[in-house]
Structure 1
């Protein structure tokens, strides 16, 4: 195994620069997710690590080797793609062992590695089947098994769960996490789904427009977002942002005051509060909001509201008989408030 060091990496297509000097250090054995909206550069960065895209500046090192000019086959990585990319005419065993066969590994060694990977992925009984006789989840396990048998220094995953249904995605998330805990191989995982990133990764790299917005553990990003983009991208439902004016540690929100002790400065701000940190208060207290839609999910109830002409979402674990049009009063938890500069979007400490 080995770590991955990305230093001042740049990527351009003609005159258009799409990756703007990215720096990431991935420790040996760490699981890191690259997350962001479509077009942010996360898959391009992964493909540069793999050697499938040339770089226009900076260095990429795997372990103690700079791999800028090495072809993919010499980088000691294994990649799992969004599409399974299995050979339909080959058996599961033949698909999993194909790369080793091309490398002219000993047949007994190939068989041993394929059987070991099949046991890890619960594929032993399917080794003689063709891909068309497998479910989507089983095909993705075969694709993962093909990577495992190579015993690489680094696993690269490019949105491997996006073609699966919702239930199977949850199951495969668990299986990928268990696989990493067992193998402890350095893993870089690309996804646009922030829930996947939060549940799988040791650390998350949040990207936007070819730049890194913040790097941290899932809970660091959730509890202390560096800016509005990270605040609203990480977490589902998204963080609420309410427009106001900061003066001497107090934010005025449409005529209602919310204290922010210790927050310096003055000016136009956006007050951030997550849906679960809005508590129901008695009439005359808190912020008056109008109910638009109520969505009971069983364990929780999501309530979509409006305040000061903007949408707000609240989540309650208790059962409430809200109806569209009701005016309810909600109080933000003072221990879980976030303040962002309205002009720059950066967090105000």
Structure 2
């Protein structure tokens, strides 16, 4: 295991800047997820850690070594790719042992490591099969096993679950997390799926347009997003945003309705701000309740345990998450009551404003 330090790392392709001075620290044994929309630079950053992309500027350290110019094979890392990348003419055991064979590891040691990894991943009965005889989840386990047998200092995962169906993704998320808890190997994992990031990571790095927007524990990012981008990206369904002007009682909408705030910042009174409220913090009341937001139900999405409503209200469509069964119908008038102490405020630059 090893600490990974990324300092002012930059990457350009010609005149196009992809990574714009990123700083990240990954502690020994930590599970860190790089998350962000497509094109934000997260996979490029992972490939630079692996040595598959050259660095335009900055330093990457693995343990005590600066590895900017160290070949991938000498970095003591193991990478699991999105596409599995298994050799079709080799059995599961041969695929898992391949890197060890290239290193000249004695055959007895190869067999021991493969057997240990196979047992931990539930592959023991599949060692004699070929990749074509495996399901997608089994192939992904083989790719993980191939990484585990190397006993690296750092695991790198590049969107390993994106080719799996929804049910299998949930299962593999739990298996990868349990595996990390057992092996305690430093892990850097890339995904665009913020649910994966929230459920698996010790620490999340949110990237956007080649920069780091915020770093923190999953629930810290959820409860205290640094800016509007993080607030809208972390959480599913996404946070609602409503524009208005800050007054003493809360954020005033053009209609005169007031969105409540527990402690409006006095220094921002009179400013045009954005009010953020998560779907689960909007309560649905009968229409006509004083202090509520009039709305009309547009779409109802029942999922069993929860029901998601999309409603039309002043300022646009809003999403509401109900924790019980819903008897409402499209077109029905309702009133929305935000939970004041769960509301967020963002300034015109998108930065979160601390409440008093």
Q: How high is the TM-score relative to the length of structure 2? A: 0.96
Measured on the aligned residues, the alpha-carbon RMSD in Å equals 1.0
2:257 paired residue number: 256
2:84 aligned residue: 84
Give the Cα separation in 1 of the matches to 2:58 and 2:195.
31
Q: Does 1:307 align with 2:341?
A: no
**Aligned position for 1:186:** 186
1:5 aligned counterpart, secondary structure = strand
* 1:347 is aligned to 2:349: no
8 Å CA contact 2:204, 2:216 repeated in 1: yes
Equivalent residue for 1:40? 40
- 1:46 positional shift: 0.1
| Structure 1: 4+ residue segments shifted above 3 A | none
Residue aligning to 1:319: 325
Conserved 8 A contact 1:252-1:258: yes
Query: What corresponds to 2:289 in structure 1?
Result: 284
Which residue pairs with 1:298 in the alignment?
Answer: 304
1:335 offset after TM fit, Å? 1.5
Any residues of structure 2 matched to 1:36-115 within 5 Å, and which?
36-115=36-115
Q: How does 1:205-216 map to 2 (within 5 A)?
A: 205-216=205-216
Paired residues for 1:192-231 under 5 Å:
192-231=192-231
Q: Is the 8 A contact 1:249 1:263 kept in 2?
A: no
What is the alpha-carbon distance in structure 2 between the residues aligned to residue 309 and residue 2 of structure 1? 49
Instruction: Answer yes or no: is 1:238 the counterpart of 2:241.
Output: no
Deviation at 1:309, TM superposition (A): 4.4
SS in 2 for 1:110: helix
SS of alignment partner, residue 242 of structure 1: strand
Give 1:330's match in structure 2, choosing from 316, 327, 336. 336
Q: Deviations over 1:154-203 (max 9, x none)?
A: 00000000000000000000000000000000000000000001111001
3-state SS, counterpart of residue 178 of structure 2: helix
Q: What SS does structure 1 have at the residue aligned with 2:47?
A: helix
- Counterparts of 1:115-154 in structure 2, within 5 Å, are 115-154=115-154
Q: Matches of 2:300 and 2:327 in 1, distance apart?
A: 9
- What CA deviation, in whole Å up to 9, does each residue of 1:217-260 have, x standing for no partner? 11011111111110010000000001111134621023111232
Query: Does 2:167 align with 1:175?
Result: no
In structure 2, how many angstroms separate the alpha carbons of the residues matched to 1:37 and 1:120? 33
- Give the SS at the match of 2:226: coil
CA distance in 2: counterparts of 1:323 and 1:204, whole angstroms: 39
SS across alignment from 1:29: coil
CA contact (8 A) 1:303 1:314 kept: yes
Gaps of 5+ in 2: none
> Is the partner of 1:94 in helix, strand or coil?
helix
Mapped to 2, the partners of 1:94 and 1:284 lie a distance apart of: 68
Give secondary structure in 2 for the equivalent of 1:2.
Answer: coil
Counterpart pick for 1:269 among 266, 273, 280:
273
